[in-house]
Structure 1
Amino acid sequence: MEGQRSKVVLARGFLSYCFFLFCVQLLSLATGSIGGKVPAIIVFGDSSVDAGNNNFIPTVARSNFEPYGRDFQGGNPTGRFCNGRIPTDFISEAFRIKPSIPAYLDPKYNISDFASGVTFASAATGYDNATSDVLSVIPLWKQLEFYKAYQKNLRAYLGERAASRTISEALHIMSLGTNDFLENYYTMPRRSSEYTPQQYEDFLVGIAGTFVRQLYGLGARKISLGGLPPMGCLPLERTTNVGGGNECVKRYNDVALEFNGKLKDLTASLNKELPGIRLVFSNPYYMMLHIIRKPAQYGFESTSVACCATGMFEMGYACSRGSMFSCTDASKYVFWDSFHPSEKTNALIADHVVKTVLAEFLKY
C-alpha cells in the first residue's frame, strides 16, 4: 500500500512538472521571447550594430549626444545611432540573455559583462579597409583582433573548457556592407575606378568569406551573415533623388539585391566547406521594404523623411541637440535619422530575423 502511494505521489509530481514546463512555453510565446543553447551574442559590423565603440576612438562618426538615445533606458545617448535600441539588443533580449549588448571599448564594462554578449562594431566601417579609412573608424580586421583579445580574457575569466564552450555555442552576428557602397564606392573615386559594381560586390563577398573562415578557425560555429537593406530607400538617398521624385533609388536597391544574392550563395558554399559550422543568411531587405511600402500596417506615418532635424539629410553631429524640427514621437517614423532606422523599426526587423532565421540556433 505504501509503495502504491509513493507511485501516485511520483506520478503527480511528474504531471505537475510537465504542467510547469507547458506554462513556461506558453509564457515564452506570449512574451515573444525564446530560449536555448546560446550563451552569448558576439557582434561585428557597422553603425547598425555599434553600441558606442566609436565614442572611444578619434572620429567624427559618433552619436553620443542628444537627441540620440532619448528613448533608450534612462534617456541617455550611448553611441547607438538610434533613438533607442538597435537590432542586436532586441535579438539578445529575444534569446533571453540581456536587454542590450555593450560596446567592447566602453570602460564601464568588463569581461563579466562581455561573457554574455559584446559588440566590436564601429559606425561607418565596412568589409573594405578603404571604407573604414573614410572616417577613420575601426576596420573589420581590427574588430577581429579585438575578438582574439576578448577570447583570451574570456578563458582567464571562465576557464579553458567553459570559454571554449561559450565561443562554440555563442551566436556570432555580422552586419555591414551598406557603407562600402554608399560612403565609399558611390562617393569616393578610388574603388569605382578600379571595379564595376558587380566586381566590387565580388571583392566584398571574398572578404566576407575570409572573415567567416577566420571566425571558424577561432572556434565560432553559429554565425549569422547579415544582408543589405533596401539602401536606395534611406531618406538621405531619397532626398538626393530629385530627378526621380524623391522616390527610392532603384540602382542602389538593385545592387543590394544582387549583393544579397551573392552572400546567400556564399552561405551555402561555406556550410559545405566547413565541417560543423551553422552559418545562416539574415536578410533584412524584404521586411524593411515591406515596412516602407506599407507603413500604416505597422503604425508608421513617415517613411521618406526621418525623425531627427528636417529628416532629409542629417545624421551624426548634424542631428545634435540644437537641431530644429525633430519629431516628438519617433515611433511614427521608419527612420530615426537620414541613414538609420528608428528603434521601433529595429525591433520589427529583429523580430522578423529571429523568427524566420535565427530560431535555427535554438533547435538543439
Structure 2
Amino acid sequence: MGLQSNLLALLFSLHIFSILLNKANAKVPAIIVFGDSSVDAGNNNFIPTVARSNFQPYGRDFLGGKATGRFSNGRIPTDFISEAFGIKEYVPAYLDPKNNISDFATGVSFASAATGYDNATSAVLGVIPLWKQLEYYKQYQKNLTAYLGETKAKESISESLHLMSIGTNDFLENYYTMPGRASQYTIQQYQTFLAGIAENFIRNLYGLGARKISLGGLPPMGCLPLERTTNFMGQNGCVTNYNNIALEFNGKLQNITTKLNQELPGMKLLFSNPYHIMLHIIKKPELYGFESASVACCATGMFEMGYACSRGSMFSCSDASKFVFWDSFHPTEKTNSIVAKYVMEHVLAQLLE
C-alpha cells in the first residue's frame, strides 16, 4: 500500500511539474532573431555574397550532417536557446524557401553573417543590413496575422523572445579594416554611434509590439583565432585593446538596457552578455573538456573562415568538440551550447518567472 501511494505521489508531482513546464513554455511561444553570423541560420545562402557557409565541412555535426549556412560545425546559440524554452531544436532562416509561416510561427532568424549595426558594415560584403532585417520582420508580422488572426498574432509577438546578437563586425570588419569610419569617428565616438543605432532598433521593435528582448553583448573579440594569429607583437596572445573595446561597448549596451526598461512600459529588456563566460572558456579550456582555444578546428585553424575553410578542409580536425573555435571567427557547437546554457540560466530564465 505504501509503495502504491508513493507511486501515486510521484506521478502526481510529475504531472504538476509537466503543467508548470507547459506554462513556462507557453510564456515564450517563439524565438525571433536579429543579428550577424553568430545567429545566421542560413539567410546568406539566398543573397549574392561570399559570406556563406553552406558547404562542407560546415554543418558536419548538424542534424543529418548538413551544411545549412550556420557558421559552425553544428548548432548555434539560438538553436540551443529555442530548445531550452521547449520550442524546437533549431530556429529556421527566414529566406529559406523550404520554410513557411507555420514553421516561422514558433521561431525565425532574420540574421545575416557579416552584418552590423552600421549600414557601412553590411555594405562591405553586400549582406542584409539591420534595417532590412526589421523590414523582413514587419513582413513576417503580416504573415503571422494572416496565419493566426490579429489577436493571437499580437499576443504571440508580445510574448515571444526577440533576440539580438550583433556588433563584432562593426569593429573588426569595418572600423579597424576599412578606411571610412575610422576617419570620421574616434573609437569612443563610434561606440556611441553604434549604441544609438541599437537603442533605436529596440525602440522600433517595441513600437511593433515586442516586449521581451535580449540585447546581446560582444564576446572578447581580441581572443578570436584570427586576431591572435595576426598579433605578432603580443606572441599570438589575445589583443587586449579589442577586448577592452568590447567591454566598453558592453557597458553602453548595459546602460541602454537600464534606460529603456525605465522608459518603456511593459518592456522586459535583458542584457545577455557572453563576454565573461567566453573569456573563461578561452583562458581555462581544459575545465570544459577542450584541448585548444588559440587555433580553430577548420583548416589550419589560424585565419580561415568561409570558403577558405572549404578549400583547406583536408587539414581540419577530426573532433570539433576538442576545440573552442570552429573557424577563425566562430565557436564550435560545443562552445555554443555552453554559452547558450550560461545565458539561459543567468539571464533568460527571468522570462519563465
TM-score grouping bracket, smaller chain normalisation: over 0.9
SS at match of 1:173: strand
User: What does residue 153 of structure 2 align with?
Assistant: 163
Q: CA deviation at 1:323?
A: 2.8
Cα gap change, 1:217 to 1:23, in 2 (>3 Å): closer
CA contact (8 A) 2:121 2:173 kept: yes
Residue 219 of structure 2 is aligned to residue 229 of structure 1: yes
User: What does residue 189 of structure 2 align with?
Assistant: 199
Residue 142 of structure 2 is aligned to residue 152 of structure 1: yes
SS at match of 1:44: strand
103, 114, 126: which one aligns with 2:104: 114
Q: CA deviation at 1:18?
A: 4.0
Distance 1:237 1:92 in 2: 31
Distance 2:300 2:139 in 1: 42
Q: Deviations over 1:207-230 (max 9, x none)?
A: 000000000000000000000000
User: What does residue 46 of structure 2 align with?
Assistant: 56
AA aligned to 2:319 is D
Q: CA deviation at 1:111?
A: 0.2
Q: CA deviation at 1:19?
A: 2.0
221, 241, 244: which one aligns with 2:231: 241
Higher alpha-carbon Rg: 1
AA aligned to 1:252 is Y
Cα gap change, 1:159 to 1:256, in 2 (>3 Å): same
Distance 1:243 1:89 in 2: 38
Q: CA deviation at 1:322?
A: 5.0
Residue 124 of structure 2 is aligned to residue 134 of structure 1: yes
Residue 9 of structure 2 is aligned to residue 19 of structure 1: no
Q: CA deviation at 1:35?
A: 3.5
99, 102, 109: which one aligns with 2:92: 102
Residue 339 of structure 2 is aligned to residue 339 of structure 1: no
246, 250, 274: which one aligns with 2:240: 250
User: What does residue 313 of structure 1 align with?
Assistant: 303
SS at match of 1:193: helix
CA contact (8 A) 1:66 1:321 kept: no
Instruction: Output the TM-score relative to the length of structure 1.
Output: 0.92
AA aligned to 2:51 is A
Distance 1:117 1:231 in 2: 28
Q: Deviations over 1:206-265 (max 9, x none)?
A: 000000000000000000000000000000000000110000000000000000011001
Distance 2:292 2:335 in 1: 12
Cα gap change, 1:159 to 1:305, in 2 (>3 Å): same
Q: Deviations over 1:95-147 (max 9, x none)?
A: 00000000000000000000000000000000000000000000000000000
SS at match of 1:244: coil
SS at match of 1:225: strand
Cα gap change, 1:190 to 1:70, in 2 (>3 Å): same
SS at match of 2:315: coil
Instruction: Output the TM-score relative to the length of structure 2.
Output: 0.95
What are the equivalent positions in structure 2 for 1:177-196 lying under 5 Å apart?
177-196=167-186
Residue 326 of structure 2 is aligned to residue 327 of structure 1: no
AA aligned to 1:95 is F
CA contact (8 A) 2:298 2:312 kept: no
SS at match of 1:306: coil
Q: CA deviation at 1:324?
A: 2.8
125, 131, 134: which one aligns with 2:115: 125
Cα gap change, 1:348 to 1:138, in 2 (>3 Å): same
User: What does residue 37 of structure 1 align with?
Assistant: 27
Sequence identity percentage = 74
Cα gap change, 1:321 to 1:22, in 2 (>3 Å): farther
Distance 1:22 1:295 in 2: 39
AA aligned to 1:119 is S
280, 284, 290: which one aligns with 1:294: 284
CA contact (8 A) 1:67 1:321 kept: no
Q: Deviations over 1:262-293 (max 9, x none)?
A: 10011000001111000000000000000001
Distance 1:321 1:65 in 2: 10
User: What does residue 72 of structure 2 align with?
Assistant: 82
Distance 2:126 2:337 in 1: 29
Distance 1:18 1:328 in 2: 47
- Across the aligned residues of Structure 1 and Structure 2, the Cα RMSD in angstroms comes to 1.9
Structure 2 gaps, min length 5? none
What are the equivalent positions in structure 2 for 1:202-217 lying under 5 Å apart?
202-217=192-207
